[in-house]
Amino acid sequence: MRVSVIQMNSINDKSANLEQARRLAEAAIAADRPDLISFPENMSWCGGGPEDRLAAAEEIESGPTYQLCRELAARHGVWVHTGTIPERAPHETRNRNTTLVFDRDGREAGRYSKIHMFDMETPDGQVYRESAVNQPGTDVVTVDLEGGLKAGLTVCYDMRFAELYVALAKAGVSVIFIPAAFTMQTGRDHWEVLLRARAIETQSWVIAAAQTGDFPVPDGRRQMYGRSMIIDPWGTIVAQASDGPGRATATIDTGFMANVRNRMPTLQHRRRWNENGMVPGSGL
């Protein structure tokens, strides 16, 4: 399976963001002929204050972002991973940060809402309170792609919690999506390290489309790190986007993954622990 990650500079203008997404995706499809395209977190909206982010949410199936991604999949005969869409949650005051996958016919194949909320102050003094706008998801989600590939769905800050990726490994994934809007400060120090770690520990391909550039917030502008990547099960970066909006493309080689898992069978060697110590037996 040939995969293109789409790197975007989304702002607080949904129409402009969706037009950018369409343009970048169609350029990748025309030039690289991918089987699957993957968008970043917050593809349809970045910026503004909490009220703006809440207002940007969509009734997911009828919303313009869902419709665009479904159309791209059906028109071009490609799989589409949406990055994330702010989903309006019925009877709730907060949204969900939701990612979806569409098959080549434009049918929804899977849906996941981000579990871990980015609530912190970064070293440069920027304060983030994702939980003020989004409620966390609760379910670990996998999607069956073609060619025997099974994908795990995660989002950005999730990547700091290894137990989620152990759960995906137990579920038998061979590909993990990690769409992101990583800050410049944390991106410089942690983006590549964490992505490669998740690939190495699960011996899976990691598909990480990211936001780049900046967007407006009430107290100024915030800068995203970019550097969208595709990483193989050995932890090698096989494709990376340059600065600015664009793309990176690589081929998912299942034979290489099988070779890595055979040569270094860490998934079989994993030992289990509980509050009483090591549990007898090994493997996932």
49-65 residue pLDDT tens: 889 989 999 999 999 99
Active-site residue numbers? Answer: 41, 114, 156
- 96 φ, ψ (degrees, to nearest 5): -115, 145
HSE-up of 134 (CA within 13 Å, CB side)? 25
200 pLDDT above the threshold of 80: yes
User: What contacts 112, CB < 8 A, 6 or more positions away?
Assistant: 98, 99, 100, 137, 139, 141, 153, 154, 155
Q: Which CATH number characterizes residue 144's domain? A: 3.60.110.10
Domain count, the chain: 1
User: Residue 199 belongs to what domain range?
Assistant: 2-282
pLDDT band of 144, cuts 50, 70, 90: very high
93 pLDDT above the threshold of 90: no
253 pLDDT above the threshold of 80: yes
226-251 residue pLDDT tens: 999 999 999 999 999 999 999 999 99
103, with CB counted inside 10 A (0-12, 13-18, 19+), is buried
For residue 221, what is the enclosing H or E element?
A: strand 220-225
Distance CA 13, CA 141 (A): 30
Q: Which residue has the tokens 């440069």?
A: 124
If one compares 52 and 281, the residue with the highest pLDDT of the two is 52
- 110 φ, ψ (degrees, to nearest 5): -175, 155
Distance CA 137, CA 24 (A): 29
Torsion of CA 216, 221, 225, 230, to 10 degrees: 0
Q: Which two tokens stand for residue 178?
A: 């990690």
Question: Which has the minimum average pLDDT: 27-41, 70-84, 109-123?
Answer: 109-123
pLDDT band of 41, cuts 50, 70, 90: very high
Distance CA 238, CA 252 (A): 10
If one compares 252 and 126, the residue with the highest pLDDT of the two is 252
Mean pLDDT of 193-220: 96
| Amino acid letter, 172 | G
Mean pLDDT of all residues belonging to the chain: 94
Q: What is the pLDDT of residue 127?
A: 85
Q: Which residue has the tokens 């025309």?
A: 30
Pairing of strands 127-129, 108-113: unpaired
Distance CA 272, CA 11 (A): 44
Distance CA 107, CA 126 (A): 39
Distance CA 65, CA 102 (A): 12
245: left (phi over 0), alpha (psi -120 to 50) or beta: beta
Q: Which two tokens stand for residue 128?
A: 């983030």
155-173 residue pLDDT tens: 999 999 999 999 999 999 9
| Amino acid letter, 200 | I
